[in-house]
Structures are given as structure tokens and as C-alpha cells.
Structure 1
Amino acid sequence: MDDPSPDGLRLAIALDGTGWHPGSWRAPGARPRDLLTAGYWVDVVREAERGLVDLVTIEDSLGLQADGGQDPGERTDRVRGRLDAVLVAARVAPIVPHVSIVPTAVTTHTEPFHLSKAIATLDFVSGGRAGVRVQVSGRADEAALVGRRPVLQIADLFAEAADWVEVVRRLWDSWEDDAEIRDAATGQFVDRDRLHYIDFSGPHFAVRGPSITPRPPQGQPVVAALAHRDVAFELVGSSADLGFVTPHATGDIAAILGEIRAAQDAAGRAGEPLPVLGDVLVVLDDDAGAAADRLGRLDELAGEPLTSDALVFAGTPAGLADVLLEWRRAGLAGARLRPATIADDLPAISRGLVPELQRRGAFRTTYPDGWAGTLRGLLGMDRPANRYATTGGAR
């Protein structure tokens, strides 16, 4: 067996429009006219589920997609506009029964009370397969859309995001699991003593609570974050259940994990499961030369070479499997794969890469027994106790 872990790799798929390459919408089979339809997203997530992946993430932002700092309104040859990721997830989740769905939320301009309710609702409609990927925004155009305040400094953005996660987690716990009695005979629907004020007060938020949505099926839906640098590594280590990072070589991994684990220890979370996945933007073909040629054609369609914060891999499924298993041996739990084109590279993952990993004994051949149908269960995480029920917090 190539993989040293008994449970093999973790795999996630990052979904963004027609794909992560800016020329992907012009590729054959891209379906750009279907992007704003529910059917498109159902089809895409079904293809990801065919690959038995742990989860899919759905990208989102509050502004038009940008190109390297350029005003996004200046170019008309790029995909512009997107559906709300949480609402897409809520539409797809009841139809696609196994894969978990983790939409992106921009914490900088979105109130934690509103998103806690939305993600709790997603957890209910998915049967416990929900999470949220927290994202900060330092873009002036997005701040101007909201008009609430100027752009924050990077340290303040991430400090606010940490408080945002804490408020959301407290709101998810503000109802005990047995708060709803629903006893028609006595006329008592809810036990008020099992609803709790969270009384959070900090430099960024003051939220009394409780939530208006009962505690989600997972207790705490999975919180994920993408990290490129020190303050983001701290956010993953202190506040997240799942991290995504962007090593460009195997040699980068030890230092990245060292910073995340140090932040995890400093937050008093040593020993808690916190899987970290490496992001890779993939262009796959049965022949490495053909994959490189297709990347070149996509660059021509876009009018410029592809650039990415993540490693760009153009090659075969077997070659990508080599990279992922090398990363696994270096300490990552797996990978989050960004298909350059959804039409080509997502099926290449689900029907090419996954079978290759299975042949090597490094990936599941079915969703496992005993995972309880929840994302936390699939990731090997327990359903957490309610902080207020166990500590006797104020009611």
C-alpha cells in the first residue's frame, strides 16, 4: 500500500463556475449558458460524488470576479456573476445524497447570526453533510458594495474572522439537543430552559443570541478555511475543523503544518482532529503531453498564461496520484482539487484519478459503513457536546 494511513487520502473538490482556468467557459462542453441553473450544479456535484470524495466546496464572493487586481468590470471575456453558494448548496444537498457540501461565506461583510442560521439550515436539509468555508475580503470594491466601513488591515480581517467563527459556534450550541419537546398533549413545543443566551462581546461583534434555529444535526457543522500565510495559519489552527493550504512543493509542507499545529496548541486544541488538505489546480489527461497541450489551448482562449495561488498540475491521473501520496507521506491528510475545466477535469478526477488511487489501496471504494452519513463522521470527528448543556451556562 502506497499510503501509510489506514483510512487513506481525504479528497475534496473545489467548484467554481465552469472551472478554475479563466478560459474554461470557452472550452468544449463547458455549459456556460447553464451556470445559473440548479440542474448544472446538481450535475456537477453528482459527478464529484461518483468519485466518493469527502466533500465539495463552492466558491463565492461579494463582488465580481477579479483578475490580478484589475478592475473586474474592465474585462468582458471572463465569467462574471455567480449564484449564492449557500443557496446552491441547499438546493443540491437533498438531491445528491452522499457527498458533503461546504459553501464559502465572506465573514468580513456577513453577520454571523445570519450565516449561523443558514448553515444550520443546510445541515438540516442535507442530513448532517454541511460545513462552511470562511473567507475574508480585503477588496475595496467589496467594502464599497456594503458601505459599512473602510477596508480592514490583514491582521484585523483575520481577528474578526476568528470572532465570527466563535459567535457562529456559540449560536449553534444555543439550543440544547432536546430543547424541542413538541408535546401536543401538554401544549409545550420547546423547553425554554434549554435555550441559552450566548452573550458574546468583543471588538468586532456583540451578539446576545440565542439562535432561532435549533442545534444542527452535526451539533457543529464543519468549519473550514484556506490559508496561505501566518495569520491565516493561525485562523486554521485556532478556529477551524478543516484546513486547506497551498504548498508548491513537498518541501513546503513541514513548515506549513508546523505553523498550524503551533496555533492549534496555543489555542488549547492539541489532540483535536484537524485534517489539512493541499490545494492543487489540475489539468488531467491520459497523456501528459496532451494535458500540457490542453493547458496551452486554455491559455490561448484566456489571452494569458494561467496563474494560481496553488500548485498547477498538468499531467496524468497516475502522475497526480504520485504527488498526492508524496504529500500524504509528508503529513497532509489529502488534497482539495481545483478542476481547470469542470467539463474535462472533474470527470478525469472521478473516473481517472480515483480509480488509480483505489488500485494503489489509497482511497475508499465505497462510502464507509458507520460514518453516520455526516461530514464530521466521514472525517473521523465526534459529534461535540453542547458547551452550555455541559457547563451549565446561563439560560
Structure 2
Amino acid sequence: MSPFTEARMHLAVELTVAGRHPAAARWAKLAPSAAFDPAHHAALARTAARRGLDMVLLPHTFHADGPLLDAVSLAARIAPVVPGIGLVPTATVTHTEPFHISKAIATLDIVSSGRAGWEPAVSRTQAEADLFGRKPAAPPDVLWREAADAVEVVVRLWDSWEDDAVIRDAATGRYIDRDKLHYIDFEGEFFSVKGPSITPRPPQGHPLVVLRADEDEALPVAARWADVVRISAPDLTAAADARQRIRQAVAAAGRDPDDVTVLLDVEVHLAADRDRARRDLAELDRLARTELPPSSVRVLGAPTDLADLIGAAVRTFAADGVTLIPLVLPADLGVVADQVVPLLAGRGLLRTGSAGGSLRARFGLPRPANHFAGATS
């Protein structure tokens, strides 16, 4: 499938409290209470939803200076009050049992009526490991082998209930048909999980799996399990190379590369023109007493500059869409919604309005068959 087709042009946004820049809250004069105010987080998601963005990504780390609220719980709080957009929290697999992640994401899919996704992540540092006290920090190859096991367990647990397992038969007092619940009997390097889940199969069957593939050890996991792959790159040429590597790895894993969407991270701060945006960044850096180096492609400029970059990314096969990372919230997100999205739509690069339906449907993915359907538990 060509990335020029409308179905392959996707737009996501990563939402934190105040944006990627560490001085964003001070510069925007955001109230200190915003980090713990559900209305603030819901308002950000609502801004993204009103122009038909595909999904919001809610990051989570175990760093003391990282996001303060649990991303999955935050997504569940937003879901009932912000319709029409996918909600994809990060849930770290290194220090969290896959059984717990499976039921949490399944629950999010239920309360959002099929708009849930999951971004698995790994935890690298000894300081993070010490928070849990269960095991020491591990090298990347071990972390990603463990992540591969964890994702497989989560997906199997989603399938451990058949779709019609819940019968609610008042006459007999039976709530479930136990013949339609299945042991997963997973035995791997890191986990031994019998199952089944304690939560019914999610509305989407499998909520959307979003994985980063910026390091070699993560690539096989993304190739096997990801519906959406996130990449960072210093420029579009490097992004195109990364996208091609991902597509080759997906094909080598026995999957159709056209079923996997590659999204390029793009840091953004938007103003009337480039000079104004650069002066803003200089002021942000002054407030933070440090310069924030780009983590991927960065656009400092007018809305047209961002629209031009996204158009170039699609034309050069650098990505199937982008994940916008605002440096300052809510200001940058407001400009994206009110000015950039209409520009993209006017250029034929992006659909407008709410697509409705499930998050998988927004990415052109069918609801997967249940792996255990018809099996004997």
C-alpha cells in the first residue's frame, strides 16, 4: 500500500503535562496543580480529538522527574469524557507482570469502546530497578527478550476468553461459559503463565500495539508484534532508511509490511515565523538553564513549516505519518489543531473529522481471530 493514500497518512501526538521542554510549564505559566488535574489532561486530549487525530500517546517512566501519574489509569480517566480518538498509554514491562498489563489494557479498551492501544517500554537503569527491589538492571538484549515474552503473554491473555464466553444466563445462574475460557500455558525464558485472564476479551480483540524500534534489540520485537512502529531520526533521509529496515524485518517475520504503520517523531514549537519560534526556544532554554537537544526531527517555525515537513516525509517514504511531540503545551497543540491539520487536509495529506469506530479500524487493521477459539481448555 502506498503511503500517498489517505489511509496511510496518520497523525498522532504525545501528551505530557506541559510539553517536552523542561521549562514549558514556567514559560506557559501553567498552574502547578495541572499535573494532577484530570480536567487538564482531558482538555489536551479533547483538543487532539476535535480535529480527528488518530491517537494520543501518554508516556510513562519510573524517573522521579518524569510523568507523575500512571499512564494507563490516566487514559482510563480520559476515555469516557473524550470520544473519537485512540488512547495509547505506555506500560513498562520490565518491572510489571504481563498479567496485570493485559487486564489493564483490556479494561481500557472496554471503557473506551475499542479505542485503546498499548506502548510497551523497557526500564534500563539501576535507580529504576531499586524502586522495585526485585532484580538488577539488565542490558538491552535481555530487556528486549523479556519484552518479547511479555507482549506474547499479554496477547495470549487477551485471547484466553472467546468473544462469546460471557453468557449471563439468569435462568441457570451462569455468567460465563467455562468451555470458552482457555489456559494459555506460556513457558518462556522470563515468564511462566497459565492463565486465563480475569477480564473478558477486549472489544478490538487485540488493542493496538505501538512499539519503538530505535535500537537493534527492539527491532525483532516490533517486527513480530507491532501494529504501529515509532522511530526517531535526525532527518528524513535517516527516517526513510529506518522505515525500510522496519519493513524488511516485518516481512522477514512473516507479516505484511503494509499492515504496519511507521510513525516518525517530530518535535514541534510553532509561532508566527521561524525567528519567533527560535527566540521562544532560546527563552525556554534560559529558563531551564540548559539547552534541550533534539531527540528527533524538530520543527521550529510557522504552521506551514510543519505541514511542509510532513508532506516531505510522506513523499520521500520517510514515514507513514508522524507523532508530534509539542515542546510547549497546550499552545503548540492548539496551533496544530487549528492551523496545521486544515493545511494538511487542504493538501490532500490528511483526512478531517472523526473517523469513528475502533482504533484498529483507523489504521486499516481487521479485528484478529481468537487464537484459542475452538480449542479445548
Taking structure 1 as the reference length, what is the TM-score of the superposition? Answer: 0.92
For 2:347 and 2:258, how far apart are their aligned partners in 1?
29
**Backbone CA RMSD of aligned residues:** 1.5
For 2:220 and 2:43, how far apart are their aligned partners in 1?
36
Q: Which residue of 2 aligns with 1:104?
A: 90
Out of 162, 165, 186, the residue aligned to residue 179 of structure 1 is: 165
Out of 293, 301, 308, the residue aligned to residue 315 of structure 1 is: 301
Which letter does structure 1 place at the counterpart of 2:313? Answer: W
Q: Which residue of 2 aligns with 1:374?
A: 358
The answer as to 2:342 corresponding to 1:355 is yes
How far apart are 1:97 and its partner, in Å?
0.8
Q: Is the 8 A contact 2:19 2:327 kept in 1?
A: yes
Which letter does structure 2 place at the counterpart of 1:52? Answer: G
Q: Is the 8 A contact 2:158 2:202 kept in 1?
A: yes
Which letter does structure 1 place at the counterpart of 2:331? Answer: D
Q: Is the 8 A contact 2:233 2:264 kept in 1?
A: yes
Which piece of structure 1 moves more, 212-221 or 272-281?
Answer: 272-281
Which letter does structure 1 place at the counterpart of 2:91? Answer: A
Cα distance per residue 1:214-253 (max 9 Å; x no partner): 0000000011112212122222212211111012211112
For 2:157 and 2:136, how far apart are their aligned partners in 1?
27
The answer as to 2:8 corresponding to 1:24 is no
The alignment partner of 1:283 has SS state of: strand
Q: Is the 8 A contact 2:51 2:352 kept in 1?
A: no
For 1:316 and 1:235, how far apart are their aligned partners in 2?
37
How far apart are 1:28 and its partner, in Å?
2.5
Out of 312, 315, 339, the residue aligned to residue 326 of structure 2 is: 339
Q: Is the 8 A contact 1:30 1:343 kept in 2?
A: no
Q: Which residue of 1 aligns with 2:352?
A: 365
The answer as to 2:220 corresponding to 1:242 is no
How far apart are 1:304 and its partner, in Å?
1.1
The answer as to 2:69 corresponding to 1:83 is yes
Cα distance per residue 1:274-312 (max 9 Å; x no partner): 101000110111212111111111111111111232222
Alignment of 1:136-155 (within 5 A): 136-155=122-141
Q: Which residue of 2 aligns with 1:225?
A: 211
User: What number of residue pairs does the alignment pair up?
Assistant: 374
Q: Which residue of 2 aligns with 1:287?
A: 273
How far apart are 1:9 and its partner, in Å?
1.9
Q: Is the 8 A contact 2:248 2:257 kept in 1?
A: no
Q: Which residue of 2 aligns with 1:393?
A: 375
For 2:145 and 2:302, how far apart are their aligned partners in 1?
41
Q: Which residue of 2 aligns with 1:57?
A: 57
The alignment partner of 2:7 has SS state of: coil
Q: Which residue of 2 aligns with 1:75?
A: none
Taking structure 2 as the reference length, what is the TM-score of the superposition? Answer: 0.96
The alignment partner of 2:201 has SS state of: coil
Q: Which blocks of at least 5 consecutive residues in structure 2 are unaligned? A: none
Q: Which blocks of at least 5 consecutive residues in structure 1 are unaligned? A: 66-79
Q: Is the 8 A contact 2:59 2:67 kept in 1?
A: no
Which letter does structure 1 place at the counterpart of 2:184? Answer: I
The alignment partner of 1:312 has SS state of: strand
How far apart are 1:29 and its partner, in Å?
4.2
Alignment of 1:111-150 (within 5 A): 111-150=97-136
The alignment partner of 1:109 has SS state of: coil
How far apart are 1:8 and its partner, in Å?
5.6
Cα distance per residue 1:117-140 (max 9 Å; x no partner): 000000000000001111111111
The alignment partner of 1:181 has SS state of: strand
